[in-house]
Homo-oligomer: A and B are copies of this chain.
Amino acid sequence: LKRLEELKNKAKNSGKKMMAVIKAEDESVLKAVKNTYEEGIVDAILIGSTEKIKTLLEIIEFDFKGEIIEESNPLKASLIGVEFAKKNKVQILMKGLIQTKDFLKGIFTGDKALTGGRLLSHVAVLEIPTYEKLILITDAAMNINPDLEQKYQIMKNALQVAKILGIEMPKVALLSAVENVNPAIPSNLDAAVISKMAEREKLKALVDGPLALDNAISKEACEHKGIVSPVRGDADILLVPELISGNILYKSLVYLAKAKAAGVIVGAEVPIVLISRADSNEIKAYSISLAVLMCDGK
């Protein structure tokens, strides 16, 4: 895929999914739900303060016909969503007006935990005007300082997303500042090890690192420096070594390279939508569409 718009079209054709919105009393969240609800991409169950939700539905003129469940306690609201997911009553969870940590607590804890002990990670899908195809960035939003094994899992989570986007043999760049395996930069050692792990495990992906960003996304830079790499300036997935560099990369692309982005949290039994208040309605709809597609990709 080259454009995020195609994500939405693909989601429309994939069959409606049911989404639980945890603490739905948030105008920006309800607007995003409205957009995809009206286009027939999702159905929803809204969990939270019924009164506030109804008031907001009126304000944004959202003629919502689905179920609204009263639960003002954030953690309890989150646990209701998790239970629905367990029972397959919903196929997607979405975060509303609730602290991320409370939201995730519901997902991680108790015998109803949705993670099965797996690591959750955030995968962003970006459409950058100066890059010829969609590119995935992970993890720019969730894991602060992943260790080697966690990075490997973060990569595998991203490969799931690449698969549902139809990328047959994704090229994964394990980013750093330089290409040499310099022991002074510990994340470079991780990158070298992950490359080899991917090779030994015969992952269906071309994984290479450490790579500086220029050699991950520019064929010209790669040739100029004489770098021999299966990624060769044509990366599908950029794996960053830790949260700060990921977050800075993501935001530099959105704000200064005018990229559009969708995002989803992967690794739990259902895909999780966690949008940022600052996201445009368009981006929010793309993120929900991405989650819808993830339901089919399991």
Contacts and interface: CB of A to CB of B under 8 A. Distances in A.
Interface of A: 128, 130-131, 144, 175-178, 184-185, 187, 212-214, 217-218, 221, 224-225, 240-249, 251-259, 277-278
A185 B257 contact: no
Contact of A185 (B175, B244, B249): B244
Contacts of A131: 256
B144 A221 contact: no
A251 B212 CA distance: 8
A249 B177 CA distance: 10
Contacts of A178: 247
Nearest to A177: B247
Given A176-B244, A185-B144, A278-B214, A252 B255 contact: no
Nearest to A258: B130
B218 A255 contact: yes
Given A177-B243, A212-B251, A213-B252, 14 more contacts: A130-B256, A130-B258, A144-B184, A144-B185, A176-B244, A213-B247, A213-B251, A224-B277, A225-B277, A242-B244, A245-B245, A248-B249, A252-B252, A253-B256
Contacts of A256: 128, 130-131, 217, 252-253, 257, 259
Contacts of A246: 177
A220 to B, nearest CB: 8
A176 B217 CA distance: 24
A184 B101 CA distance: 13
A124 B37 CA distance: 47
A96 to B, nearest CB: 17
Nearest to A188: B244
A214 B177 contact: no
B245 A244 contact: yes
Given A128-B256, A256-B257, A257-B256, A177 B244 contact: yes
B277 A243 contact: no
A243 to B, nearest CB: 5
A244 B216 CA distance: 14
A278 B213 contact: no
Nearest to A176: B244
A198 B62 CA distance: 50
A283 to B, nearest CB: 13
A195 to B, nearest CB: 17
24 contacts: A128-B256, A130-B255, A130-B256, A130-B257, A131-B256, A144-B184, A144-B185, A175-B248, A187-B244, A212-B247, A212-B251, A213-B248, A214-B255, A217-B255, A218-B255, A224-B277, A224-B278, A225-B277, A245-B245, A245-B249, A252-B252, A253-B256, A256-B257, A257-B257
